[in-house]
Amino acid sequence: MQPLTNRSKIVVKKEMSLYERIYLPAIFSGMMITMSHFFKKKPTIQYPEQTRPFSAVYRGQHVLKRDDNGAERCTACGLCAVACPAEAITMVAAERKRGEEKLYREEKYAAVYEINMLRCIFCGDCEDACPKEAIFLTDRKVDSEVKRNLFTYGKDILVEGVEKDKRVDVSKRQTPEVLEFKKHKEFEHNR
Amino acid sequence: MTLGYVIYKLILAVIVFTVTLLIAMYSTYAERKVAGFLQDRLGPNRAGWFGILQPVADAVKLFMKEEMIPSVSNKTLFIIAPGLSLLTACMTGVVIPWGTSLTIFGTSYSLQVTDLNIGILYLFGVVSIGVYGIMIGGWASNNKYSLLGAMRASSQMISYEVAMGISIIALIMTTGTLSVGQIAAQQHGWHWNILVQPLGCLIFIICAFAETNRAPFDLPECEQELVGGYHTEYSSMKMGFYLFAEYINMFVSSAVISTFYFGGYNMPFIGRFVHDGNLLAILGVVFLFAKIFFGIFFFMWVRWTIPRFRYDQLMNLGWKTLIPLSILNLVLTGAWMMRHEIISVFIK
């Protein structure tokens, strides 16, 4: 039969020599190998204190951005929910009332905006789909919880704070190239 | 027998008991730490400084676990078995000479709880009862895995006790005594028994591994085949007792190996530097414990290096290799001891 690869080996089951049958030399060499590992540097990362270096464009927990005046950018258009391959995003839209101009940038806003973090696959498609630069993935990690329903993050967790120090920096993911790319309406994903 | 003598023996027994339990407790921690380091991990390091409180946390966890007694089990035996296992494990420490003797206010206090003149026989007797804990536990559980584990344990222990016994007979022939205290005392300086009985020492160590059910001979509890072996049905602190007994056995085995073959509390050349008797006795205890700790480390080192034997390989090794070897060792030792008589027969 023609061999598919040249990696096949002919197995020989030969009698063991006396030296091999004593086992003790083999045991000794094995124990030396484990002992050499005893003194090796451990690759363990002590997680809560130490963290792995993250990529600048790491896709972690989402943030809903505000504009410079502190108004929510999201208009509840639902493009992110449509783009989401895991169907993790749900929202309820509402109309902006008079006097709420400071809170919401445009006439329509998301009264409820929920992302199920257990369903989310952190692909970043919601961010690509968003025409209002409202949702971004950040380099924050989703915390562990003890109950499944606690993983459904609402606006209380997702929307960033109004104050300067509570804003979430997404400049790494919102580079000029990305902004330029999003302007081209001829691409499928920008329509 | 004065009251002071009784109090001194009681204190010594309590100290030995406490130290045994303490070392067994920290052996569980050391095992995980050694396993971690041998596998390029760090082992437990969260509970306390370097994870030093881990055994306490484990004990608390075991106490908090639900106590389960299977309805089909033999309840009395089911409860007795782990206690028996632990009791026999603790009993062996009595005849080990932990050091020479301390002289306080002109009275000499031996650091051995009791120097039985049949110490070795006592040791073997107690160790043999140890298998009952496993057998009764496995049988009383009324579970096929437990029973299989118990059967394996008993057949393994019986097989390896033969080779162990014969290798010890050779040692008794050269030392001429059954008292553990005297065997330790004879090995002062460089007269360690491993130099007299290297083959016997090797056989004894291998059999000690089998007797303590440690890897590579941990067939009675091999998880991949028998779920948990004889302690499949056990939970909570009864389970803890079995695990604890294993670690105590490991400590006692290390102590016995150190005492029989590696000089016990003796250290070569120490007599040249230290002349004070009490200091020498205390140093002897330190040396013995250093040897024991190395022995325990060796047990763990082997466990995390060598894969488990198959059951037929285990029996082959026991009956076809170790027993003939130990008999050969016995014959050679006898021939060496009687060499003058043998030579004189041929010369005449």
Instruction: Note down pLDDT in tens along chain B; length 348 residues.
Output: 688 888 888 888 888 888 888 888 888 898 888 888 988 888 888 888 888 888 888 888 888 888 888 888 888 888 888 888 888 888 887 888 887 777 777 777 777 777 788 888 888 888 888 888 888 888 888 888 888 888 888 888 888 888 888 998 988 888 888 888 888 888 887 788 888 888 888 899 988 888 888 878 877 676 667 777 778 888 888 888 888 888 888 898 898 898 888 887 888 777 777 777 778 888 888 888 999 999 999 999 988 888 888 888 888 888 888 899 999 999 998 888 888 888 888 877
- Comparing alpha-carbon positions, the chain A residue that sits nearest to B34 is A38
User: Contact B306/A38, CB-based, under 8 Å?
Assistant: no
Q: For residue B85, give the nearest of B267, B224, B220 by alpha carbon.
A: B220
Band of pLDDT at residue A47, cut at 50, 70 and 90: confident
Question: HSE on the CB side for A39, CA within 13 Å?
Answer: 4
Interface TM-score (ipTM) > 0.95: no
Does the CB of B310 have a partner CB in chain A at under 8 Å?
no
Q: What is the pTM of this model?
A: 0.79
Identify whether B97 is preceded by a cis peptide bond (ω within 30 of 0). Answer: no
**Rounded Cα–Cα distance for residues A117 and A49 (Å):** 24
Q: Does the pLDDT value for residue A187 go beyond 80?
A: no
Nearest to A27 among B37, B38, B306 (CB): B306
Distance in Å from the first CA to the final CA of chain A: 56
- Å from A45 to nearest chain B CA? 10
**Mutation for testing the A interface, residue in B34, B42, B299, B305 having most A CBs under 10 Å:** B305
- Comparing alpha-carbon positions, the chain A residue that sits nearest to B38 is A38
The amino acid at residue B96 is: I
**Rounded Cα–Cα distance for residues B313 and B306 (Å):** 14
Which chain A residues are within 8 Å of B41, Cβ to Cβ?
Answer: 42, 44
User: What are the boundaries of each domain within chain B?
Assistant: 65-347
Per residue in A57-92, pLDDT (tens digit) is 888 899 998 888 888 889 898 889 999 999 999 999
Query: How buried is residue A66: exposed, middle or buried, by Cβ count under 10 Å (0-12/13-18/19+)?
Result: buried
User: What are the boundaries of each domain within chain A?
Assistant: 62-190
CATH topology of domain A62-190: Alpha-Beta Plaits (3.30.70)
User: Contact B41/A34, CB-based, under 8 Å?
Assistant: no
Stretch 131-170 of chain B: residues touching chain A, C-beta under 8 Å = none
Does the CB of A32 have a partner CB in chain B at under 8 Å?
no
Which chain B residues are within 8 Å of A27, Cβ to Cβ?
Answer: 302, 305-306
- pLDDT at residue A141, as a whole number: 85
Per residue in A124-159, pLDDT (tens digit) is 889 888 888 889 998 888 888 899 989 999 998 889
Cα angle value A105/A107/A112 (rounded, 5°): 80
- pLDDT at residue A11, as a whole number: 86
The answer for residues whose C-beta is within 8 angstroms of residue B329's C-beta and 6 or more apart is: B166, B167, B170, B197, B199, B200, B203
- pLDDT at residue B1, as a whole number: 65
